[in-house]
Amino acid sequence: MADFILETKGLTKRYKSFTAVQDINIHVEKNDIYGFVGKNGAGKSTCMKMISGLSHPTAGEISMFGFSGTERELNKAGAYARVGALIESPAFYPNLSGYDNLELIAKSIGGITKKDIDETLDVIGLTHAANRKTKGYSFGMKQRLGIGTALLSHPEFLILDEPINGLDPQGIAEIRKLIQFLVSEKNMSVMISSHILGELEKIAKNIGIIHKGRLLSEFNKESFLKEHDKSILLETPDASKAMACLQEHPGCTCTLNEKGQLIISGCQAPLGALIRELIYQDVYINRIEEQQLSLEQYYFELTND
C-alpha cells in the first residue's frame, strides 16, 4: 500500500459564480516526484495554493503527513512546518544580494541559521553568486533562488508551481537535476506543476492531468507504459497481402487506420523477423516502425486538444 504524504478529496474552489477547480483528488507518495500537468489557467496554481495553505478551499478535504482538517488544524498539527512552497514567480529585492534576500526570508520564518542559508545556497548551486545583487541574476538563477526560499526550513514536502516556465534548455536541465537531487539525496517528496508535459515526463513517477478545473486522470507512469504496449505501423501498397501474411503469427492482429496504414499489435516476433517475412512474401514496404502511445498523445486525447 502506498504511503501518501498528501491526499485531497473533493477539493473545490469557487469565486462567487465561477468554479476554478472542482472535486480534485490528488495522491502524492512519500519520496516521489508528482507531476501536475495542465494548460495555463487549468487550475494548477489554485490547487497548489489550497494545498500549501495560501487559499481556503470552498469544499473538500486536505490530508498531509497523516493529518486532516482546515488550514488552522493542519498548521496546529505542524503539517505546514514540514512543507516548502514556491507558488508562481519568485520576487526579490534587486539591489540586495542572493544571500541577503534569503536572510530576510529566513528572519520572517524564524529559527533559520546562517549555516542553513549557506547549505541552501550550496544545494541550489548559487554559492558562487551569493554576494551578487539579484538584479544581475539570470532568469534561471532567480528560479533556483526561488526554490532556495522554499528549502530554507528543510521541508519534507516541496511544492513547486511552474518552476521551469520561461527557462532555456540549460535552465530547465539545471532545475530538473536539482529536483532529482532533492528526492534522491534529501529524501524529499516533490509536487511540481507545468504545462510542459515532456519535461515532467522525464522526472515524475506519478502524473495528474488537470483541465478546465477538473482532474481528468492520475496515473503511474511506469504502469501507463506497460499498459499501452508497443504496436507496429506499416505503410504498404499491399495492405491485404501484408495482413494475410502477418496474421499467421500467433496473437498478431492487424487493423487499418484512417490513413490506410496497418497497425499491428500483439505480435511476439521481433520487428526484424516481420520485415524479413514481408520481404520474402514480396510485400513492398514504404515505411515500418515501432510506436507506443506517448503521454503527450494521451494528454491530447483526454483534453480533446
Q: What is the CATH number of the domain that holds 140?
A: 3.40.50.300
Nearest residue to 124 (alpha-carbon basis) of 163, 190, 71, 179: 179
Tens-place pLDDT, residues 94-132: 999 999 999 999 999 999 999 999 999 999 999 999 999
Q: Which of 221, 246, 272 is the last residue of a domain?
A: 221
Over residues 146-161, the mean pLDDT reads 96
Spacing of C-alpha 162 from chain mean position: 10
Statement to judge: residues 205 and 136 lie in one domain:
yes
Statement to judge: residues 183 and 71 lie in one domain:
yes
Tens-place pLDDT, residues 240-258: 999 888 888 887 888 888 8
Question: Can you tell me the distance from the alpha carbon of 119 to that of 130, in angstroms, rounded to the nearest whole number?
Answer: 12
Q: Which domain holds residue 232?
A: 228-303
Give the domain CATH number at 261.
Answer: 3.30.70.100
Statement to judge: residues 63 and 203 lie in one domain:
yes
Say whether pTM exceeds 0.85. Answer: no
Question: Can you tell me the distance from the alpha carbon of 275 to that of 66, in angstroms, rounded to the nearest whole number?
Answer: 55
CA terminus-to-terminus distance, the chain? 35
DSSP states of 49-74: HHHTTSS--SEEEEEETTEEE-HHHH
Residue 1 has pLDDT above 70, yes or no: no
